[in-house]
Amino acid sequence: MKNILIISLLIVAPLLGHASQNFTIMTYNVENLFDNVHDKGKNDWTWLSLETKENTPEALKYCRSIEQSHYRRECFELDWNDEILNKKLKSLSEVILTPKNTRVPDVIVFEEVENKRILKILVDKYLAKAGFKYISLLEGADTRGIDIGVVSRFPVKSEKIHQINLAPHSSRTTRPILETVLNVYGREITVFGNHWPSQGNVDATRLKASSILKQKALASKSDLVLAVGDFNTLPDDKPHGININILPIFEDVEVKARQINKDLAPGTHWYRGHWDSLDKIFVLKRKNSKGIFTEYSSFEILNHSFMLRDLIWTDFDTGTTYTDKNIPHRFNKITGEGFSDHLPVSINFKIY
């Protein structure tokens, strides 16, 4: 009996002697978070104030060149002025600073942000009390100028982007994968920020993105490797990039979390009557966890009532009108109300 007690103490002693630290990560597609300053070489003319556009011949020329009538009208009419922009930033900060199951995140990976300038305004003016000290964002080749950005309480050790060549499936330039390496309590954590090609592209383009992610993730030697972001992948994708390249080496934490919490939101994105989990947090499978544990019970798809609304919409094919309740309240670029068409996802890790 005495020997058994000694062995038991030897097993638990390391855990008793080392208090755990928390590391919480969130991913959030913030839907067109542009500043209202033109970036040279980018087609960001829509996202300027009317006063600026009306006095900039190049902006008016670009608006006239847009073929799709809705986007052409928006380019001419949208007044993306300081007041509207600040309402957008304030709304996003309200979401970020009001978690449910976890703490305010230590690291946030944003999709659809224009540049470091707009992230710095968000952090300094609206998220000051959250303690974010570091920003990681490298400009990609997206012609509109949207990128993936990271804000973090922990130091950034390195950052790089991985380009995704979509040929021969598309000639359009897609968004790269952002690889950010963090020093978290002395542990190296690599975060791959993803914003895969939209459903307007053929499924094979997302397969290409998944292949690049798989290759780069397996090459990482970090203590923890995460792939997060907007993967834009639906269950009927064929080929299915997540099933083919991601799930064999990564764990989708939402799957296990749903076994624990049956009350999770039905998805992260709603489109014409259908919910899907486009936004994901994947954890690279490792035989040795190195003292880092995933808290599945903390996983959440953040869906406070103030982030949601009821929507009446009409099916284009049948003409039938429906009312859907509690869907993401998109930001209204005229009134300044709302947030984003995506819900953010977060989870906590324990580090010993």
| Position 166 in a domain | yes
Q: Per residue, what are the HEC states of 81-129? A: CHHHHHHHHHHHHHHHCCCCCCCCCCEEEEEEECCHHHHHHHHHHHCHH
Each as own residue / partner, the long-range contacts of residues 70-73 (CB below 8 Å, 24 or more positions apart, any chain) are: 71/46
Angle at 9 between CA 7 and CA 12, to 5 degrees: 110
Distance (Å, rounded) from C-alpha 48 to C-alpha 75? Answer: 9
By the 8 A CB rule, do 41 and 47 touch? no
Kindly report the CATH number assigned to the domain that includes residue 175: 3.60.10.10
| Position 97 in a domain | no
Q: Which domain holds residue 275?
A: 108-302+344-351
Distance (Å, rounded) from C-alpha 157 to C-alpha 188? Answer: 9
Distance (Å, rounded) from C-alpha 299 to C-alpha 333? Answer: 31
Average confidence (pLDDT) per 10 residues, the chain, 352 residues: 45 54 97 97 96 97 97 97 98 95 92 98 97 96 94 98 92 91 97 97 97 98 97 98 98 97 95 96 85 95 97 88 95 97 97 94
Q: Is 168 exposed, middle or buried (0-12, 13-18, 19+ CB in 10 A)?
A: exposed
By the 8 A CB rule, do 129 and 110 touch? no
| Position 147 in a domain | yes
DSSP symbol at 35: -
| Position 307 in a domain | no
The first and second tokens of residue 232, run together, are: 């834009």
Distance (Å, rounded) from C-alpha 106 to C-alpha 16? Answer: 25
| Position 52 in a domain | no
The first and second tokens of residue 114, run together, are: 């224009």
Angle at 135 between CA 90 and CA 87, to 5 degrees: 10
Nearest residue to 206 (alpha-carbon basis) of 181, 178, 180, 235: 235
At 162 the pLDDT is 97
At 8 the pLDDT is 42
| Position 54 in a domain | no
Residues 6 or more apart whose CB falls under 8 angstroms from that of 160 comprise: 138, 178, 179
By the 8 A CB rule, do 278 and 233 touch? yes
Helix (H, G, I), strand (E, B) or coil at 209: helix
The first and second tokens of residue 77, run together, are: 């009419």
In the chain, the N- to C-terminal Cα span, in Å, equals 29
| Position 121 in a domain | yes
At 9 the pLDDT is 40
Total structural domains in the chain? 1
DSSP symbol at 167: T
Nearest residue to 226 (alpha-carbon basis) of 252, 197, 259: 252
Distance (Å, rounded) from C-alpha 100 to C-alpha 67? Answer: 43
By the 8 A CB rule, do 29 and 279 touch? yes
In Å, what is the CA distance from 8 to each residue of 18, 28, 162, 352?
17, 43, 47, 19
Distance (Å, rounded) from C-alpha 311 to C-alpha 337? Answer: 14
By the 8 A CB rule, do 140 and 176 touch? yes
